[in-house]
Amino acid sequence: MINSAQFRLQFIVLLWGFTGVLGKLIQVEAVPLVWYRVLFAMAVLFLILKFRKIPLKISPKDLAMLLGIGVVIGLHWMAFFGAIKVSNVAVALSTLSTGALFSAFLEPLFFKRKINLSEIVLAIIVSACILLIYNASPDYWLGIVLGVICSFLSALFSVMNGKIHAKFPSQKIMFYEMIGGWLIVCLFLPFFGGTSAITDISWTDIGLLLLLGSLFTAYPMIESVRLMKHISPFTLLLNVNLEPVYGIILAYLIFGESEKMTPLFYVATAIMVLAIIVNSLMKARISKKTKYLTKVEEPEN
């Protein structure tokens, strides 16, 4: 079962890595692209909810929370695909790795805990790597900025989801979040082509967008929750760090020279991903040791 779970995990991380490639293949600008992605994902999730007879009823307070998280997700996706459109897949995915840096500061803020030393060291390493990536590709500065914004928003909605994920079925959470995401994209749409941006579109792009919204969005989100029955949250998060690696390799294989970067870029990205993985392993080891010591020190009744 573990081997099966690991295979499924690597498959969904590969799907997430391929979203950047799809973003470049689809000949639609970032905002209308996200408009369709969220719309199709929302439709798939609605059908799943109906098929499984999961009630849609929710309190106004929880609805506001989920819609708010959805707004953050919508902004995150617009920044991500915007980074791809103004630079390339490699730049967008490499900067996405900075999410661990933002999580290191957001988690203590949301969950009322202190920042530990390893997180400070991680922040320094990641910041240095971003500077190296900029020096390696200064022409892509706007893509780097959008990528870092995208990464911050990714960390923000992940932390926000951590406070509500246990209250409802995952499909229900994601459905309402997609509504929030779609609404915020609708507000941006008039400034990025309006209705013509979503009507002047080829059937090829419609097909790719349908794939993006279903196989590459709704399915991985649902599957990642199912996998939690067989793997730990730590294992999931650790493997998600491979998304930029998969995406950068796939983009280079498919697009060739347009995705080729300098050696410095790849070295900086590799150091950043490695630092995040090592930090995650250290935190898991410390957490395990703390739990063991707490158990040993518990008084007998």
pLDDT in tens, 160-199: 877 776 678 888 989 999 999 999 999 999 999 999 999 9
CA distance 258 to 190: 31
CA distance 177 to 291: 34
- pTM score: 0.86
* Predicted local distance difference test score (pLDDT) of residue 89: 93
* Predicted local distance difference test score (pLDDT) of residue 3: 63
Question: Which is nearest to 213 in space by CA: 13, 17, 24, 45?
Answer: 45
Half-sphere CA count of 240, side-chain side, radius 13 A: 19
Task: State how far Cα 119 lies from the chain centre.
Answer: 20
List, as one string, the DSSP characters of 25-65.
HS-S-HHHHHHHHHHHHHHHHHHHHHHTT------HHHHHH
Question: Which is nearest to 173 in space by CA: 50, 78, 67?
Answer: 67
Question: Which is nearest to 184 in space by CA: 62, 19, 30, 35?
Answer: 35
Both tokens of 184, joined, read 């915020």
* Predicted local distance difference test score (pLDDT) of residue 129: 86
Backbone Cα Rg of the chain: 20
Report pLDDT digits (tens) over 24-75: 999 999 999 999 999 999 999 999 999 999 999 999 999 999 999 999 999 9
* Predicted local distance difference test score (pLDDT) of residue 301: 44
Domain ranges of the chain: 29-201+256-297
CB 98 within 8 A of CB 134: no
Question: Which is nearest to 168 in space by CA: 61, 77, 74?
Answer: 61
Question: Which is nearest to 182 in space by CA: 67, 261, 97?
Answer: 67
CA distance 262 to 138: 11
CB 231 within 8 A of CB 5: yes
Q: What is the mean pLDDT of the chain?
A: 85
Question: Which is nearest to 31 in space by CA: 71, 77, 73, 67?
Answer: 77
